[in-house]
Structure 1
Amino acid sequence: MRLSRRLASTTVAVALVLPVSGAAIAHARVHPAGASPQRGAPAKAGEPFGAACRIRVAGSQVTADCHNPYPRTDSVTLHVECTRWWDLDSDGTAVKAGPAQTVRLSGRCWKEVESAWVSHRKAR
């Protein structure tokens, strides 16, 4: 009886955690820290879009400098995934990078940084 209760509670815990952590891991592997400058999502053909971002990790601090050379405003957000299981991952607030504008985003972990990436959206 005791084994079945443990098995049931473990199964429920794994079922609740897997969908969330699986999506985060898949996204983090696509955008590892220290990667080359990233471009935004592709826009319509012939319409350039997306700020170029440089991400720097120094210990537990993450800084991203994003420059938007295009005429359309890009809304950029910094995402930081921490190495330790108890360290909280963070998603920054969206910052609008207007045409020919450079913005700086920052985030941190308590200990080591696993990965960091910048997401892009067309500002309305």
Structure 2
Amino acid sequence: MGAAGRPGLPRHRLAVHLTAQSPGWVAPAIDVFETGWREQQQAREEAAATARTAVDRDAERAKAYVAGVWERTGAGPTWTELGDALGWAPALRERIIRTLAREGVLSYSPEPRSLAVAGGAGGVEG
């Protein structure tokens, strides 16, 4: 986590400082760094909003799917299997599953196939 709770800010400040101190660089280079930084921040915010929407929409479906896999196989699904079943983009699966775990919907441990319904059989809080 960066300064003021914002990821990437120290790197951004360093880039601005180096740009200002470098004799061969001109002021527009600062604009390029700042534009890139803003685009990264916007992309992170959009990913968080998309994940939040998926969590709100799919929490019950995720519980049902995970419980069904445990019932059929005696082990939890992989994160990829859950994401495929619910149609989540690969880039968002980890964020969504971790959010579901933080909210007490699912649980997991470092062990393979430990994904479980929180409070149910087969999982340790992650």
TM range (shorter): 0.3 to 0.5
Structure (1 or 2) with the greater helix fraction:
2
Normalising to structure 2: TM-score of the pair? Answer: 0.32
Which of 1 and 2 has greater Rg? 2
Structure (1 or 2) with the greater strand fraction:
1
Normalising to structure 1: TM-score of the pair? Answer: 0.32
Structure number with the bigger relative contact order (C-alpha 8 A, sep ≥ 6) is 1
